Amino acid sequence: MTSDLRVALLGQGFMGKAHSNAFCQAGHFYDLPYRLRRTLLCGRDAASLERMASRWGWEETSTDWRTAIDRPDIDIVDIALPNHLHAPAAIAAAEAGKIVFCEKPLAMTAEEGRRMVEAARGRPTLVWFNYRRVPAIAYARQLIDEGRIGQVFHYNAAYKQQWGADTSRAATWRMDPAQAGSGVADDLMTHLLDTALYLNGRIREVVADARTIAPNREIDDAVTALVRFENGSAGTFEATRFAIGAKNQNTFHLHGARGMLRFNLERLNHLEVVDATVPSTEQGPRDLLVTDLKHPIFGNFWRPGHIIGYEHTFIATVAEFLECLARDVPFHPSFEDALVTQQALEAMLISSKTRQWTDVSAS
Amino acid sequence: MTSDLRVALLGQGFMGKAHSNAFCQAGHFYDLPYRLRRTLLCGRDAASLERMASRWGWEETSTDWRTAIDRPDIDIVDIALPNHLHAPAAIAAAEAGKIVFCEKPLAMTAEEGRRMVEAARGRPTLVWFNYRRVPAIAYARQLIDEGRIGQVFHYNAAYKQQWGADTSRAATWRMDPAQAGSGVADDLMTHLLDTALYLNGRIREVVADARTIAPNREIDDAVTALVRFENGSAGTFEATRFAIGAKNQNTFHLHGARGMLRFNLERLNHLEVVDATVPSTEQGPRDLLVTDLKHPIFGNFWRPGHIIGYEHTFIATVAEFLECLARDVPFHPSFEDALVTQQALEAMLISSKTRQWTDVSAS
Amino acid sequence: MTSDLRVALLGQGFMGKAHSNAFCQAGHFYDLPYRLRRTLLCGRDAASLERMASRWGWEETSTDWRTAIDRPDIDIVDIALPNHLHAPAAIAAAEAGKIVFCEKPLAMTAEEGRRMVEAARGRPTLVWFNYRRVPAIAYARQLIDEGRIGQVFHYNAAYKQQWGADTSRAATWRMDPAQAGSGVADDLMTHLLDTALYLNGRIREVVADARTIAPNREIDDAVTALVRFENGSAGTFEATRFAIGAKNQNTFHLHGARGMLRFNLERLNHLEVVDATVPSTEQGPRDLLVTDLKHPIFGNFWRPGHIIGYEHTFIATVAEFLECLARDVPFHPSFEDALVTQQALEAMLISSKTRQWTDVSAS
Amino acid sequence: MTSDLRVALLGQGFMGKAHSNAFCQAGHFYDLPYRLRRTLLCGRDAASLERMASRWGWEETSTDWRTAIDRPDIDIVDIALPNHLHAPAAIAAAEAGKIVFCEKPLAMTAEEGRRMVEAARGRPTLVWFNYRRVPAIAYARQLIDEGRIGQVFHYNAAYKQQWGADTSRAATWRMDPAQAGSGVADDLMTHLLDTALYLNGRIREVVADARTIAPNREIDDAVTALVRFENGSAGTFEATRFAIGAKNQNTFHLHGARGMLRFNLERLNHLEVVDATVPSTEQGPRDLLVTDLKHPIFGNFWRPGHIIGYEHTFIATVAEFLECLARDVPFHPSFEDALVTQQALEAMLISSKTRQWTDVSAS
């Protein structure tokens, strides 16, 4: 007997579409322990809301996200609102006893994040750092856990997009500091930090340099940072929307005593691996197409070599959450995990202002 | 007012899953002129049939595919049965006045194919050569149509898989000549031929060499061919399931007077293009990530750089079919198109037996 | 005590430059058992001959290549003349008791080649199929010899250039059938065949298709072929000067029971290797930078990762020849080896005329 | 009438070999305005010195580098000694009226560098930042000069090697702070800085993080830095000998308003270029094989697509120096240029100690 979980989705933008798709598709590819019902879609624009609800099979709509909190039949509140609404919505949902899903970044500030963690203590939470469910990244983690990479020396991460350089684009809430908090920091650097946390653990210290490049813009267009990790490794981070030539290059390079890992989101079915324990003549980056049935996640979808895309990371995220829920084990990344990322981000933003190395735990 | 089209899917295997997904998803990403209803799922194994119907939302099931033909409420019969059943099912469906979708290859023989075309004359048909709807391949066609490549000199195509070399795998109908017709010829070479037909037109003449490599196997494991196209270009074709190291490498290289195109299905979001009209110092393969909103097909899915996968080609196929149906214009590839491919394939198989260059039109 | 070997080079063109460089450089990178002296340079154009001799340190010059044959002090006659002069010069040199080096192709016909082999029987010979000394290709051979690739199923080779499509280029002897014999067949296909002979053994049977694409041209611009090897493997071959977008793409792909090898001359320091004996999750093309001190050949030059180029293959060829000479063991490729290649080429040219599969040994 | 220039080379190590080769080869590929004579080779180990002199054609040897200074017939003193001897040898040579060539880094400190510049004022000088003569890098500069890249936003550079992690290797002077000054900073970071100076101009400010990873080592194994350039662009720099999996990856990425450039020394014949002025559908990294006769430098060597290697950058360096000398125009990089690099490096080392952003001009 599979019981139902009724979902309310707050938000009707691009992420709302990605989440809707995940709720539709999870049961097609996974044997889910619960049946997800797309019960309520909340958004401010009534006209487009109806269209979206109809398209994606949401049973009801509301133009006030608080409806989701107030309705006792809603089990999961999924927040895909602009950043400044994450904390109020998540805290309200948690206090109403809901399971809470929240888009990244967790919050506008670490302090806000701490209040969210506090409010949700004991509740199952999920933050949509969906790239943990890229099969290649999950497999990278597996290789690290198996000791295949050894002591890490270097961790480099960069998230490069170019659309920020197009100043003719209509402004969205992402360009408004009051709604977004920061620019590439909150939007892209948080992705890098969550992946780094997942693969290489916590960051101890940072020095960062945030820049606004476009005239008259109020949020950061590019952030660079040097970091030191708690495990002794060090590296460079960069997030930018002014990287002409880069559509969606979310990359990491990781060098350890026993091998190397390299990844690029634009070719997310691939992971490059060097095994430095084989004879030197045989060492070189192996370009793995992470589409084997024995690779993590991929086997739920298609046959070897039949690649998947961006949306599948959302499907796997929700499916794994439900599995954790059924088995009563913690899901990651939770609010707590996302708070660690938020603290590292905040240290970067402080460092960029003070022009000093900044301790992450102190932020 | 959007009217309904009731679909019956014949087949519950891997392709049945891909088609089911397409029927579910097409309306999520496209403004469809019809509403597809997943009315009837037909398959021989009752137990797994129920599970599949429940998972993918098929309203009813039957263990006899003829039910789909007999029911007057069915609008579309979609055939995903073993190859030897394509002709009987398609002919029956066409004669019953259905819209007919058929998995590739069209038929076991060109003669069978001709009878299918005859039976379906005047009916809308679709053959699931889904790779025409890879955005990179559709964009390749667009560049060719715009004259960007010029007179074609060379066309090379190869479809390389490795699973045939694993003789421990359980035999399926694909290894049985009575059900499959041929091996890689019907399975993989037809994909190459359809893409070639789409991009470079008809083949005039072939010489081919089919081999069975695994002991005790009765179907071809590998086929190579030289071809001459009607447009004067020439090339090499190869399809194999013994290409160790290749998971799903469906590639083409096309060299014309004004440029080059190169593609590999394992990285289906990419198209490599050389523009030979720029100064020689600036000529080199441009690795396009075919995920721009102005690229064909892609804009229906996600944002630039947020890649798609295998399944999206099926979604786009059915969506474009419905658009053609609503506008009353021919959809491609139809049964007629697939017959051209079947004839080229048959010429290859004859050539391999006679050891002679073989004229395609004569086959 | 290192003794001298006096070299006479016949030819002052591009290959003459490559050979001159090899004679200069071999002693810088190898401990040679002989000291090469650049004694005599023969060429028809007296003015440029002096300049070339002065630039490359040739002690004397002659406008008649027969001088090299007649002079008793010449030990090595190195033939870099147009193809139609290979046989007369080589036969004369061999009959005069010289060591004979000859540019590829060996001859204009297999019959000519047989006479050259006959004349040189018992004499040390070298044919400048220099790509055997690309470290990556030598290493490919080593992996094959070690059993790392296993029984070969497929061997694909292509040599793609584009300059033939530029009909504004001044004609050279390479475009004249009387001097060149054939076009891409003699020039490029022979390279493919020698590498195939080196890596995969003899070819048993071919069917080929030669085309002249440029108007008013008398030699072949493009040749495609299907081949069957004596070891049971099969494959496709293609040589063309009309491959727009390809500068110098000399590639092979080899798939065997235990792995795959892939190479491209445009990136000659690299070899891609799949080891199919590791778990399926770990199989993927390893992009080896073949610049390790333990890789063949490379260690004579620079440090790991400090890449080499085209010219180094000539340096290694002459150095290895001298080592063989000192140790009195056969050097490869010799005239005998090159005759095998010439026979396979001739079978292709015959097949292209007769439109029949053609047995190599019968040619 | 070509006059002679007599060279004395100080140093018999790896760089001595690279320089010797350049002196031998420059006249083979360039029409030099002077004839270089390999007059004197200086080195401490008499036995190997003779072997090296004999191999590379040095006329005389000395075990005391001061011989080169004292001999009035020596025109060029070329310093390939350990770093701590660069300043004394260069100052002595300059004061003796010689032309001075010096291996990188220029000096142990910026102060030393300033004294070298002072001593050599008015003298022709050359510092062996040979990578400026990689054709792809020279072509990158040409594209920038032509305005093809536009205002630069981002400049990322990394030099990754792995040999430092092999603690079993015998120590050389490179691991001794007294002889080397620093580790990867002087060895690899200086290469990155010179290329950045060449392509993107001067750096204004840095914050850096140097680490010694190997136990008991006294020099830096890895350095990361954030930089701000005078032109307003910013970026990350990293130099390391602990980048397992990287043989010799000297890379830069440059993003400007009109395009992108990307380079990797391991494939030095290639330059990746995005032209962001074409329609968005056509934007993607073009992988240029920088081997066209119209590309800078390459045309002196071989034919298009016949690649060159590491050593050719030295050959081109000395050839271009002689051309400048004959035309009486300044050669770059000179001692003055290398001092700019040394100052940026020193700012990095200071920053790493003070943990502060550091102004380059103030160092």
3-class secondary structure per residue, B89-149? HHHHHHHCCCEEEECCCCCCCHHHHHHHHHHCCCCCEEECCHHHHCHHHHHHHHHHHCCCC
Amino acid at position A75, single letter: D
Amino acid at position A316, single letter: A
Write the CA distances from D20 to C57, C60, C318, D7, D53, integer angstroms: 17, 26, 21, 10, 9
Average pLDDT for residues D255-261, to the nearest whole number? 98
Could you read off the pLDDT of C52-88 as tens digits, one per residue? 999 999 999 999 999 999 999 999 999 999 999 999 9
Could you read off the pLDDT of C312-358 as tens digits, one per residue? 999 999 999 999 999 999 999 999 999 999 999 999 999 999 999 99
Residue B131 near residue B265 (C-beta atoms within 8 A): yes
What percent of chain B lies above the pLDDT cut of 70?
99
Residue B361 has pLDDT above 90, yes or no: no
Are the Cβ atoms of D280 and B273 closer than 8 angstroms? no
Average pLDDT for residues C102-125, to the nearest whole number? 97
In sequence order, which residues have a C-beta less than 8 Å from that of residue D295 and are 6 or more positions away? B281, D135, D138, D139
Token representation of residue A114: 């701490």
Q: How many Å apart are CA A224 and CA A189, to the nearest integer?
A: 9
| Angular region, B147: left φ>0, alpha ψ -120 to 50, beta rest | left
Are the Cβ atoms of C209 and B207 closer than 8 angstroms? yes
Q: How many Å apart are CA C252 and CA C231, to the nearest integer?
A: 17
Are the Cβ atoms of A287 and C284 closer than 8 angstroms? yes
pLDDT for res A362 = 55
User: What residues pair up with A210 in beta bridges, in sequence order?
Assistant: A223
Cα dihedral sign for B279, B281, B284, B289? negative
Could you read off the pLDDT of B64-117 as tens digits, one per residue? 999 999 999 999 999 999 999 999 999 999 999 999 999 999 999 999 999 999
In sequence order, which residues have a C-beta less than 8 Å from that of residue A310 and are 6 or more positions away? A18, A268, B302, B306, B307, B308
Task: Give residue B308's Cα distance to chain centre.
Answer: 18
Residue C300 near residue C71 (C-beta atoms within 8 A): no
What pLDDT band is residue B362 in, cutting at 50, 70 and 90?
A: low
Could you read off the pLDDT of A108-147 as tens digits, one per residue? 999 999 999 999 999 999 999 999 999 999 999 999 999 9
Are the Cβ atoms of D211 and A234 closer than 8 angstroms? yes
Closest-CA residue of A relative to C294 is A281
Q: How many Å apart are CA D180 and CA D197, to the nearest integer?
A: 23
What pLDDT band is residue B172 in, cutting at 50, 70 and 90?
A: confident
Residue C100 near residue C321 (C-beta atoms within 8 A): no
**Å between D304 CA and nearest CA of chain C:** 7
Could you read off the pLDDT of C2-27 as tens digits, one per residue? 799 999 999 999 999 999 999 999 99
Are the Cβ atoms of D259 and A238 closer than 8 angstroms? no
pLDDT for res D362 = 54
In sequence order, which residues have a C-beta less than 8 Å from that of residue D201 and are 6 or more positions away? D229, D230, D231
On whether the pTM is more than 0.90, the answer is yes
Residue D168 has pLDDT above 90, yes or no: no
Residue D274 near residue D259 (C-beta atoms within 8 A): yes
Size of interface B-C (CB pairs under 8 A): 118
Could you read off the pLDDT of D222-234 as tens digits, one per residue? 999 999 999 999 9
Are the Cβ atoms of D286 and B282 closer than 8 angstroms? yes
User: Shortest CB distance from D281 goes to which of B281, B284, B295?
Assistant: B295
Residue B49 near residue B12 (C-beta atoms within 8 A): yes
CB atoms within 10 A of CB C253: 24
pLDDT for res C50 = 96
What percent of chain D lies above the pLDDT cut of 90?
95
What percent of chain C lies above the pLDDT cut of 70?
99
The answer to whether the peptide bond before residue D215 is cis (omega within 30 degrees of 0) is: no
**Residues in chain A, how many?**
363
| Chain A environment of B308 (Cβ under 8 Å) | 309-311
**Å between D356 CA and nearest CA of chain B:** 37
- Substitution target in C24, C28, C313 with the highest count of D β-carbons within 10 Å is C28
Could you give the ipTM of this predicted complex? Answer: 0.96
DSSP A266-285: GGTTEEEEEETTS-GGG-S-
CB atoms within 10 A of CB B6: 17
**Å between D160 CA and nearest CA of chain A:** 10
Are the Cβ atoms of A244 and D257 closer than 8 angstroms? yes
| Upper half-sphere CA count for residue D188 (Cβ side, 13 Å) | 30
pLDDT for res A168 = 87
All chains having 3 or more CB pairs closer than 8 angstroms to chain D: A, B, C
Residue C305 near residue D247 (C-beta atoms within 8 A): yes
User: Shortest CB distance from A295 goes to which of C281, C287, C295?
Assistant: C281
pLDDT for res A1 = 57
Are the Cβ atoms of A228 and D213 closer than 8 angstroms? no
Token representation of residue B253: 């290289």
What percent of chain C lies above the pLDDT cut of 90?
95
- Substitution target in D224, D229, D254 with the highest count of A β-carbons within 10 Å is D224
Residue A268 near residue B307 (C-beta atoms within 8 A): yes
| Chain C environment of B262 (Cβ under 8 Å) | 245
pLDDT for res D1 = 56
Residue C172 has pLDDT above 90, yes or no: no
> Quick check: helix, strand or coil at residue B183?
coil
DSSP C156-215: EEEEE--GGG-TTSPP-GGG-HHHHSSSHIIIIIHHHHHHHHHHH--EEEEEEEEE--ST
| Angular region, A325: left φ>0, alpha ψ -120 to 50, beta rest | alpha
Q: How many Å apart are CA B267 and CA A39, to the nearest integer?
A: 37
| Chain A environment of D246 (Cβ under 8 Å) | 255, 260
Could you read off the pLDDT of C247-298 as tens digits, one per residue? 999 999 999 999 999 999 999 999 999 999 999 999 999 999 999 999 999 9
Residue C134 has pLDDT above 80, yes or no: yes
Closest-CA residue of C relative to A143 is C282
Query: What's the burial of D84, exposed, middle or buried (CB within 10 Å: 0-12/13-18/19+)?
Result: middle
CA-based nearest residue to C267, from D309, D108, B217 = D309
Write the CA distances from B269 to B145, B266, B304, integer angstroms: 20, 9, 11
Could you read off the pLDDT of B322-348 as tens digits, one per residue? 999 999 999 999 999 999 999 999 999
Are the Cβ atoms of C162 and B276 closer than 8 angstroms? yes
pLDDT for res C1 = 57
Task: Give residue D188's Cα distance to chain centre.
Answer: 9
Could you read off the pLDDT of D91-148 as tens digits, one per residue? 999 999 999 999 999 999 999 999 999 999 999 999 999 999 999 999 999 999 999 9
Q: For chain B, what is the mean pLDDT?
A: 96
Which positions of chain A have pLDDT values less than 50? none
Longest dimension (CA), chain A: 65
| Chain B environment of C222 (Cβ under 8 Å) | 153-154, 234
> In which element (H, E) is residue A210 found?
strand A203-211
Q: For chain D, what is the mean pLDDT?
A: 96
Return the residue matching tokens 């977008």.
C245
pLDDT for res D111 = 97
